[in-house]
Structure 1
Amino acid sequence: MIRKIIHIDEEKCNGCGACVTACHEGAIGLVNGKAKLMRDDYCDGFGDCLPGCPTGAITFTEREAAAYDEQAVLENKQKKAAAAQQQAQPAAPAFHGCPGSMMKQFHREQTAPAAAAVPMQSQLAQWPCQIKLVPVNAPYFDGAKLLIAADCTAYAYANIHEEFMRGHVTIIGCPKLDAVDYSEKLTEIIRSNDIKSVTVLRMEVPCCGGLEHAAITALKNSDKFIPWNVVTFSTDGRILDR
């Protein structure tokens, strides 16, 4: 449609930005130091920007242009207001504590479950499973593939039951929260039973190193040669090392 709309003479424009502020619809922006009409449909043709221009670079013209879109202008204003509010929020204070306690939030893509999804079966083979509570001479340790897992791994890694716990005796602990050295009890478990292999599941955070250290110490102190490996998970649930 042919309608009245502003025209900006870039030769006269000094890039002061007064018109950008004066335009309540957000139709004008600065590009490479010069005012520019960003979208025809944002310009209502009322010319609030004209008096604010100190060099007379803005005038009216009549030409083919998209009709003024009030809804688009409103949505653009709301978007800019939200962005400004976000920028105005104070930055999160620097974190000085244990890395394992540093707050994080993960935004997962939500997908609809399959219509015929079969509920996953637990692969926990015994009870209790806490390192502090399991009896050293429990019969399920005899001939077992031992899985020593940090508490958090079961929540960080979705497929832990099928991929790691299946066919294993699983014992769990957290050296940070339990505040104990597991190496003595793990040594007795390995020394007193016919353990076939040892797998340690830990998180990437430094405090989880205590669990790995306890398991390795127990293997050394048991005077047995047993295959072992350590799997490390990131806090967002990826396998970092295995």
Structure 2
Amino acid sequence: MIRRIITIDEEKCSGCGLCASACHEGAIGMVNGKAKLLHEHYCDGLGDCLPACPENAISFEEREAPAYDEAAVLAAKAAKKEPLPCGCPGTVCQTIEHDEPISEVSMPGQLSNFPVQIKLVAPNAPYFDGADLLIAADCTAYAYGSFHKDFIRGKVTLIGCPKLDDVDYSKKLLEIFRYNDIRSITVTRMTVPCCGGLTNAVKKALEKSRKDIPLKIITISPRGEIV
């Protein structure tokens, strides 16, 4: 099948190994002091390894490659007894315990637009013009307790998950950036590697729009901590 996959320029590669560490799918390894894509079917095409490379030796290409095999990745992780791509230490996620009692008082939501999914919104929706835009990985709202108050309030909100949506977010975001006067962009993502796809889509769209829009990226841990 033809799909997006990484390619590594060995002449630029300095052999630092940072990309191999950043690739939580286990697709990249070191061979003779150079980074190499060892398992094409492990590469999900999201590119969390790209920003880790100090030499800009990694890029995307569209070519014939085996389909991403998540089952094979999980099996390899289980065999090595390493954390899974979602951040869990095994096949069962840890439960995060909280001592605080659940409040019976409902806090008012701060959502100002609907729909909120990136693939569903219309780029020419009137609420985009002059907006401060929040682009959130959908897990962040569940991990961070005061998400509405601290992030959604006063912003137009878009959510997505590049692991679940089989779409190129950058195309829709590019339309939104081009057709509207966006004042600022805030991205909230999780520490897990698949969120790198969301960040890369925003950066790609912003670069292609040729607009100087302030961009802020906030990373949240599964325990709800800003890191």
Shorter chain as denominator, the TM-score bin is 0.5 to 0.7
| 1:124 paired residue among 107, 111, 117 | 111
Letter in 1 for 2:202: A
Letter in 1 for 2:164: L
Deviations 1:55-81 (A, max 9, x none): xxxxxxxxxxxxxxxxxxxxxxxxxxx
Q: Is the aligned partner of 1:200 residue 2:190?
A: no
Q: Could you say which residue in structure 1 is the equivalent of 2:162?
A: 175
| 1:216 paired residue among 194, 199, 203 | 203
For 2:83 and 2:99, how far apart are their aligned partners in 1? 32
Q: Percent identity?
A: 55
Shift of residue 94, structure 1, vs aligned partner: 4.7
Deviations 1:108-141 (A, max 9, x none): 2332356xx7521111111100000000100000
Q: TM-score, normalised by structure 1?
A: 0.57
Q: Could you say which residue in structure 2 is the equivalent of 1:138?
A: 125
Q: Could you say which residue in structure 2 is the equivalent of 1:191?
A: 178
Look up the SS of the partner of 2:222 in the other structure.
coil
Which consecutive aligned stretches of 4+ in structure 1 deviate over 6 angstroms post-superposition?
none
For 1:157 and 1:93, how far apart are their aligned partners in 2? 32
Shift of residue 105, structure 1, vs aligned partner: 1.5
**Structure possessing the higher relative contact order (Cα contacts under 8 Å, 6 or more residues apart):** 2
For 1:212 and 1:235, how far apart are their aligned partners in 2? 18
Judging changes above 3 Å, is the alpha-carbon distance between structure 1 residues 182 and 145 closer, same or farther for their aligned structure 2 residues? same
The answer on whether the counterparts of 1:106 and 1:236 sit within 8 Å (CA) in structure 2 is no
Q: Is the aligned partner of 1:104 residue 2:90?
A: no
For 1:96 and 1:228, how far apart are their aligned partners in 2? 33
Unaligned runs of 5+ in 1: 1-91
The answer on whether the counterparts of 2:96 and 2:223 sit within 8 Å (CA) in structure 1 is no
Look up the SS of the partner of 1:229 in the other structure.
strand
Letter in 1 for 2:93: K
Letter in 1 for 2:147: I
Larger Rg: 1
The answer on whether the counterparts of 1:148 and 1:172 sit within 8 Å (CA) in structure 2 is yes
Q: TM-score, normalised by structure 2?
A: 0.60
Shift of residue 99, structure 1, vs aligned partner: 1.1
Judging changes above 3 Å, is the alpha-carbon distance between structure 1 residues 95 and 150 closer, same or farther for their aligned structure 2 residues? farther
The answer on whether the counterparts of 2:189 and 2:195 sit within 8 Å (CA) in structure 1 is yes
For 1:127 and 1:216, how far apart are their aligned partners in 2? 24
Q: Write the mapping of 1:225-240 to structure 2, written as runs, cut at 5 A.
A: 225-240=212-227
Deviations 1:16-55 (A, max 9, x none): xxxxxxxxxxxxxxxxxxxxxxxxxxxxxxxxxxxxxxxx
Aligned residues: 147
For 2:168 and 2:83, how far apart are their aligned partners in 1? 22
